[in-house]
Amino acid sequence: MKFFVDTADVKEIRELNDLGLLDGVTTNPSLILKSGGSIIEVTKEICSIVKGPVSAEVTATEYEKMMKEAAVLARIADNICIKVPLTLDGLKACKALRSDGHLVNVTLCFSANQALLAAKAGATFISPFIGRIDDIGIDGMELISEIRTIYDNYDFQTEILAASIRTVNHVKQAALIGADVITAPPATLRALVKHPLTDKGLEAFLADWAKTGQSIA
C-alpha cells in the first residue's frame, strides 16, 4: 500500500519525506488556501521534495478550461498528477489527459458507479472520500470495498486512493480491504506508529540499560 500525505504544508512534507514515509502527495484548493502560498510556487516546491505523484487540482468546471489549467499545472514538474472532479467534464478531461500521457486523479468520488466511470475514463487514481461519507452517517469503508470488487471483476488498473482519511482505523480498514493508496493528514500518518505498550516497553528497557552502566557507541 502506498502512503500519500494530504497537505500543502511544505515543512510537514519535508519532514515526512525525510522519514522515508511518503510515496506521494495530494493537494486540493482548500489545502492550497491553508498553505497561504501560490498554487504554482507551493506545488513546485512539493514536487522538488517528493519523487512520487503530486496531485494538483484544476479549478475550472468546464472541459476546455480544465484542459488549459491542466496544461499549466503539468508544466510544473514531471511528477504532477492532474486532479479533476468527478463530473462529466472532469471524466472527459481525464480521458484526454491520459491519452496525452499525464497521470490523473479523479476526485470527489462518493459512489461505486462514479468509480466505475473514472476507471472507464482511464484514471490513474480514483479518490473516494471516506471521512465525508462517515460524516453523513454512512460507512465510508463500504464504498472502498465495493470499488475493490468492481475493479477486480474487470481487471481495471485504476488505483483506489482512499481519501478523506481521518483516523488510524481508517488506514487499517483501507489496508484490509486492499485499497492501493491512502492519503492522510500528517498527524494521522504520524499516529500510525503510536502504541502505549511500545512506549511502556521502551521506557522499561532504557531504565534497565541505564543500570548496566554500559554504552554501545
H helical segments located in the chain: 10-18, 29-35, 39-49, 63-74, 88-99, 112-120, 130-135, 140-154, 168-177, 186-191, 196-212
**Please, which residue, 192 or 197, has the CB nearer to ligand G3P?**
192
> Please, which contacts does 13-17 make with residues 24 or more away whose CB atoms are closer than 8 Å?
13/46, 13/49, 13/50, 14/49, 15/186, 16/186, 16/189, 16/190, 17/49, 17/50
**Whole-number Cα distances in Å, 21 to 15, 33, 182:** 9, 25, 12
- Residue 118 phi/psi, 5-degree rounding, is -65, -40
Q: Between 78 and 117, how does the x/- string for binding to ligand G3P read (CB under 6 A)? A: ----------------------------------------
Binding of ligand G3P by 28 (CB under 6 A): yes
**Please, which residue, 118 or 207, has the CB nearer to ligand G3P?**
118
Rounded least distance, CB 47 to ligand G3P, Å: 17
Among 4, 110, 125, 129, binds ligand G3P (CB under 6 A): 129
Q: Scanning the structure block, which residue is given the C-alpha cell 519535508?
A: 14
Q: Which stretch binds ligand G3P (CB under 6 A): 35-43, 59-67, 129-137, 146-154?
A: 129-137
Active site residues: 83
Q: Between 152 and 191, how does the x/- string for binding to ligand G3P read (CB under 6 A)? A: -----------xx------------------x--------
User: Which residues of this chain interact with ligand G3P, rule CB under 6 A?
Assistant: 6, 26, 28, 129, 131-132, 163-164, 183
